[in-house]
Structure 1
Amino acid sequence: MIKSRLLLASAAFCAVFCLNAEAKLYKWVDSQGVTHYGETIPPEYANRDTKQLDHGRLTDRKETFDSDKMNSTKKETPEDKAAMDARRHDEALLNSYTTDKEIDLARDRNLLQIDARINSYTVLIKSAQDSLTSLHQESDNRTKKGWKIPQSLTDDITAAEARVADLQKSLEDNQKEREAVKARYDADKRHFRELKGLPAVDPNAK
């Protein structure tokens, strides 16, 4: 009888190891110290040290998970990021335009808006400078006549000078933006032609 039980237990144990090679078997010990085998690990024992039966061998599940984690957390290098950004830029160019003429049109639309702001600031600066000139003239006339210059006039001159400076800075910022936008679209146009296998064009050509 005992011999029969031993044979049955041995057969059952062999069956565990003779499962399909594709199946993943795990060995774990419960809170009572009892060893179990199965294709899945109960959630309550997931954090315990377990063993995976891999083609008849026991492998440490924790080490396998740590190795996977290391591979998945590999840091992206600056070169990798630069290459990815370049690919995305190429895709954006090819998806956004069908000919380089469309790039010219997009550039001109953007420059038109910037030019409108530049013209507006130019007019505002002239007006602000005229106002400042009038205030300085009033101050000079009072000085020539020996009159006291009121604090309100001094404050007006200070405010007018600050306004002219602010407007001048805004004008310069927009002029720089215009140059940057033009340069960016020109570079995009050159690169677009390269991607399409088209010959380079003379940048000075009309």
Structure 2
Amino acid sequence: MAFSRLIALVLLSAATAASAQSTLFRCVDEKGVTHYGETMPAACAKKDVTELSKQGRTLRKLDAPLTPEQQKAKVEADAKQRENDKKVAQQKQKDLALLGTYGAEREIDLIRDKDVLQLDQRKRFLDARIADVEARLEKVTNQMEFYIAGRRKPAKEKDAKEAKTTEPQVPAQLQADFDRVTNDRTNLQQEIARLEVDRRAVVARYETEKDRFRRLKRGMRVGTVLDEQGNVLIEAPIPKR
């Protein structure tokens, strides 16, 4: 008999505990009607749902299922966030390298001047070469003009009457010299033009690095992405402590 009473008490306690631990689900439909149920009400299938304890305390909130349009927007937003995170990570790596390389802005200026000096020395060498080529080209051109003028002048009056009206042809070797020197000048001019582009790029790169260094030293967070105008495009997150 005592054993039976013990079993009854255990079952009653279990039932009481289960009742105390059971929850309610609540949602509001499109008409503003609030629905409750110990299981999920059918009207809550596409709505935000709040799970409540028997005492009315909120246990958790469940978002409504996403519509196809919302799902598409979420996929796009997640992809954009991943891309932004990647850009921030890449910029952070560059920023840390920049801060690890230089201790002050003047150090950036010193390295820039060193690189620019090398380019300027190369340009002076090319300028000297092109001056030499210009002199050679002038010499060959004069030789060609002298040869053509001599071929046009007849030795006798009879020769003048019988002279052909076609332009005299310069010797093949002289023409080859002219072509070679002309080609040398063109190549040198192109190399000098590329060198000037490189010089401007070097100066611009170091100015960009110096501006970035200055911003970081003044408190801009490492990894912040800027646009071409220097405006903040992606704000780096606050570092976790």
Task: Please give the TM-score of this superposition, normalised by the length of structure 2.
Answer: 0.49
- State the match for 1:175 in structure 2: 196
- Please give the alpha-carbon distance, in whole angstroms, between the structure 2 residues aligned to 1:157 and 1:78: 57
- State the match for 1:130 in structure 2: 135
Which has the larger Rg? Answer: 2
CA spacing shift, 1:153–1:187, aligned 2, 3 Å: same
Structure 1 gap ranges (5+): 1-73, 199-206
- Please give the alpha-carbon distance, in whole angstroms, between the structure 2 residues aligned to 1:164 and 1:77: 52
- Please give the alpha-carbon distance, in whole angstroms, between the structure 2 residues aligned to 1:150 and 1:159: 14
Q: Please give the per-residue CA displacement for 1:161-197, whole angstroms capped at 9, x wherever unaligned.
A: 1100001111111110000000000111111011001
Matched, 1:141 2:130: no
| Among candidates 107, 116, 135, match of residue 121 of structure 2 | 116
CA spacing shift, 1:81–1:126, aligned 2, 3 Å: farther
Structure 1 residue 148: deviation in Å?
Answer: 5.1
- State the match for 1:55 in structure 2: none
Task: Please give the TM-score of this superposition, normalised by the length of structure 1.
Answer: 0.57
- Please give the alpha-carbon distance, in whole angstroms, between the structure 2 residues aligned to 1:90 and 1:77: 20
Please give the root-mean-square deviation of Cα atoms over the aligned residues, in Å.
2.1
- Please give the alpha-carbon distance, in whole angstroms, between the structure 2 residues aligned to 1:77 and 1:140: 70
Structure 1 residue 131: deviation in Å?
Answer: 0.5
Structure 1 residue 82: deviation in Å?
Answer: 2.4
Query: Quick one: which amino acid aligns to residue 118 of structure 2?
Result: Q
Structure 1 residue 79: deviation in Å?
Answer: 3.3
Structure 1 residue 77: deviation in Å?
Answer: 5.2
Kindly tell me the number of residue pairs found equivalent between the two proteins.
125
- State the match for 2:30 in structure 1: none
Structure 1 residue 152: deviation in Å?
Answer: 0.4
Percent sequence identity over aligned pairs? 28
Structure 1 residue 81: deviation in Å?
Answer: 3.5
